[in-house]
Amino acid sequence: MSIYPQSTKPHGLLRFLATYLAFLLALPLLTGCGGTGAGKPVPVIVVVGDRTVLDVVTELRRAKLTVSEDKSQLASAGLIVIAQDAVTGPMPQHRELIQEIAATGNRNLLWIMTNSVNLEDPEILKLEDKEARDLLYKYDLPGNATQFAIDSASFPVDPKLSYLKGWASITSFVIGIKK
CATH of domain 43-178: 3.40.50.300
Per-residue pLDDT of the chain (179 residues; tens, 9 = 90+): 555 555 555 566 666 665 655 555 554 444 444 444 444 455 799 999 999 999 999 999 999 999 999 999 999 999 999 999 999 989 999 999 999 999 999 999 999 999 999 988 889 999 999 999 999 999 999 988 999 999 999 999 888 888 999 999 999 999 887 66
Q: 165 pairs with which residues across the strands?
A: 150
- Degrees, nearest 5: CA angle 161-167-168: 100
Q: Spell out the domain ranges in the chain.
A: 1-40, 43-178
Cα separation of 57 and 77, whole Å?
Answer: 15
